[in-house]
Structure formats: C-alpha cells, structure tokens
C-alpha cells in the first residue's frame, strides 16, 4: 500500500492542482472557466429568458404581419371603391354630355365646344362651321321595320358621321333624326363643302338592318362663324334655314357654305322654294 507521501508525489508529477486538474487535462486541454461548476443554474435561467424573449418577438412579428395583411385588404377595398366611384363619375358625365342611344355629343356638350371654338377662332382669325343634317326618309324606317330598327339605323348613322370627321370635330345628335357637326379652325369655306360631300356620300350608302337593306339620304345646311352669326342660336337658325332650302332645291342637295344665305330671304321663301329663287348655290351630289 503506498503511503500518503508517495501519492502526493505522484499527483505532483502529473501536475499542480491535484486530481481535478489532472482529470481535466486528460479530457479537455482548455482550462475550466472560473466558477463554471457554479454557473449551471444561472445559465439555465438566461437560456429560458432568451427563449421567452424570442417567443415574444415571434408573436409580435406575427401580430405585425397580420396587421399588415389587414391593412392590405382594406387598401384593396378602398382602391376598388375609388375605381367604382371613378367609373360612376364617368358614367354620370357621359349621361350628362352624350346621347344615350348613339354615344354622340348631346346639345349641352355641343354648345360648350362651340363656345370654346368660337373663342379660339376669334383669337386666330379663323372660321367655325356648323352643319345641320336632317335624315330624309327616316320615318319610313320606323313605320316599316319598327322603332328598334330605327334605333339601329340612328346608331349606324352616328358611326358614319364619326368616321367622316377629324378628331377635333364634334358630331352631335341634336334630336330625333337631326344631327349636327361642328368644325373648328376652318381656314377655307371650301373645306366645309368637302366635309358635307363626304358626309353625304357616307350616309347614302345602304344600311343593312335585320337583313333589310335601308337607304336614306340627308339634307345638310351650313353656317359659318362669324359670317352667319356670333352665337349658338344664330348659327343654328341659319343652318336650319339652309337645310330647308336644301330640301326644297333638290334631294339630296348641299348648300354652298360661301353663299352667305341671308335670314330674311330664306325665311320669306321657306317651304316654297324653287331652284331659281334660292339665294344660294345648291350643289347636288349624284
């Protein structure tokens, strides 16, 4: 049996610090941290605290994401409502300023655009033309084929009128089977005649409605600002008189925009006009 002295000498040979350090030096070359054997419970508390903080952060992130999703849904609903309001406003504007049947401008929009055109023409020393178009023979379409066919015919006429003019021009359904075209920035009255001839040619082509071929013609009267009036009412009165003269002279006939038709002469002959009595040049389109 070794003595205590021999045992102490052996441990001293293994290294200072006794059996604890000797065991540690065999299993782990890193010296143990000071107080490591006493930090176990404290470390467990810290770990549990960290885990709790992590769980709380994850819960907060989850709540924040749910809030973001809710706000996104509300934003989508608001955007949808705004889009619906914009569409409703556009529909209301369309109903206020456009003809429901044909989609053309109505009288209110025509008057507004005519006022703007006259103001611009006055500054630029130009002319503005107003063409009043009355459909000849339209009543027979309603009588023979019914009002649904008549509505379809009016829509076809509106489409052809729109195809006959520039983007800056305005085509308007004035009421019933009467239409108006407003031409701003006219430099030469001959341009008005060209537009009237084009409109007449387009309207004279046959329409096919419910498998029926429909042919209609048009009488067109014109007025020029400022030669024939300085207001919507004056221009429309002059164009109306010119249109009735066109009906009386010949069907179809176009009134030359350069004629300078006078109101008294036209009124005195309205309803009883012969080609020789007409105070204007009638241009017949064959």
pLDDT on residue 72: 87
Instruction: Reduce the DSSP state of residue 262 to 3 states and report it.
Output: coil
What count of other Cβ atoms lies within 10 Å of the Cβ of residue 55?
10
Asked, for residue 33, whether it belongs to a domain, the answer is no
What count of other Cβ atoms lies within 10 Å of the Cβ of residue 265?
15
pLDDT on residue 1: 55
pLDDT on residue 285: 31
What count of other Cβ atoms lies within 10 Å of the Cβ of residue 226?
14
Please indicate, yes or no, whether residues 182 and 209 belong to a single structural domain of this protein. Answer: yes
What letter does residue 36 receive in the DSSP assignment?
G
Of 134, 177, 240, 256, the active-site residue reads 177
What letter does residue 56 receive in the DSSP assignment?
H
Contact 182, 159 (CB under 8 A): no
Please indicate, yes or no, whether residues 71 and 160 belong to a single structural domain of this protein. Answer: no
Work out how many domains the chain is built from and give that number: 3
Asked, for residue 231, whether it belongs to a domain, the answer is yes
Please indicate, yes or no, whether residues 20 and 51 belong to a single structural domain of this protein. Answer: no
Give residue for tokens 């000849």: 136
Q: Tens digit of pLDDT per residue, the chain (286 long)?
A: 555 555 556 555 555 444 555 444 445 555 555 554 456 778 888 888 888 888 888 888 988 888 888 888 888 888 888 888 888 777 777 678 999 999 999 999 999 999 999 999 988 889 999 999 999 888 888 888 898 999 999 999 999 999 999 999 999 999 999 999 999 999 888 888 889 889 988 998 988 888 888 888 888 999 999 999 999 999 999 999 988 888 887 543 444 544 544 333 334 334 443 333 323 323 333 2
Asked, for residue 100, whether it belongs to a domain, the answer is no
Burial class (CB in 10 A: 0-12, 13-18, 19+), 258: middle
Please indicate, yes or no, whether residues 75 and 128 belong to a single structural domain of this protein. Answer: no
Nearest CA to 180 out of 99, 95, 266 is that of: 99
Asked, for residue 227, whether it belongs to a domain, the answer is yes
Please indicate, yes or no, whether residues 260 and 213 belong to a single structural domain of this protein. Answer: yes
Q: What is the pTM of this model?
A: 0.62
Distance separating alpha carbons of residues 247 and 253, to the nearest angstrom:
7
Residue partners of 263: CB distance under 8 A and separation at least 6: 237, 238, 241
Asked, for residue 99, whether it belongs to a domain, the answer is no
Instruction: Check which CATH number belongs to the domain holding 197 and give it.
Output: 3.30.70.270
Q: Is the dihedral of CA 115, 117, 121, 123 positive or negative?
A: positive
Rg (CA), the chain: 46
Burial class (CB in 10 A: 0-12, 13-18, 19+), 99: buried
Q: Per the structure block, which two tokens stand in for 214?
A: 């429909």
Q: Where are the beta strands (DSSP E) in the chain?
A: 127-136, 170-175, 178-186, 207-209, 212-214, 217-225, 253-255, 282-284
Furthest C-alpha separation in the chain: 159
Instruction: Reduce the DSSP state of residue 19 to 3 states and report it.
Output: helix
Please indicate, yes or no, whether residues 218 and 85 belong to a single structural domain of this protein. Answer: no
Asked, for residue 123, whether it belongs to a domain, the answer is yes
Please indicate, yes or no, whether residues 261 and 160 belong to a single structural domain of this protein. Answer: yes
Contact 21, 15 (CB under 8 A): yes
- Whether 177 is a known active-site residue: answer yes
Q: Which domain holds residue 123?
A: 107-284
Nearest CA to 249 out of 280, 222, 228 is that of: 280
Distance separating alpha carbons of residues 66 and 69, to the nearest angstrom:
5
Please indicate, yes or no, whether residues 74 and 143 belong to a single structural domain of this protein. Answer: no
pLDDT on residue 33: 52
């Amino acid at each position: 049996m070794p003595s205590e002295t021999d045992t102490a000498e052996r441990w001293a040979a293994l290294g200072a610090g006794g059996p604890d350090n000797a065991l540690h030096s065999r299993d782990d070359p890193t010296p143990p941290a000071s107080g490591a054997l006493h930090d176990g419970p404290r470390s467990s508390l810290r770990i549990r605290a960290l885990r709790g903080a992590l769980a709380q952060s994850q819960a907060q992130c989850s709540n924040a994401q749910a809030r973001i999703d809710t706000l996104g849904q509300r934003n989508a609903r608001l955007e949808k409502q705004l889009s619906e309001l914009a569409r409703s406003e556009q529909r209301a504007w369309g109903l206020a300023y456009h003809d429901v049947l044909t989609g053309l401008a109505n009288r209110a929009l025509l008057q507004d655009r005519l006022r703007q055109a006259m103001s611009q023409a006055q500054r630029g020393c130009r002319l503005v033309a107003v063409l009043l178009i009355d459909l000849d023979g339209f009543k027979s379409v309603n009588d023979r084929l019914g009002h649904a066919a008549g509505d379809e015919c009016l829509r076809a006429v509106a489409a052809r009128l729109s195809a006959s003019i520039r983007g800056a021009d305005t085509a308007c359904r004035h009421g019933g089977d009467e239409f108006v075209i407003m031409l701003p920035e006219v430099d030469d009255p001959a341009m008005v005649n060209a537009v009237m001839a084009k409109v007449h040619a387009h309207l004279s082509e046959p329409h096919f409605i419910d498998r029926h071929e429909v042919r209609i013609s048009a009488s067109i009267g014109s007025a020029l600002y400022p030669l024939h009036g300085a207001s919507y009412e004056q221009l429309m009165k002059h164009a109306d008189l010119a249109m009735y003269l066109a009906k009386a002279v010949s069907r179809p006939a176009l009134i030359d925009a350069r004629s300078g038709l006078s109101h008294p002469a036209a009124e005195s002959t309205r309803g009883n006009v012969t080609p020789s009595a007409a105070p204007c040049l009638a241009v017949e389109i064959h």
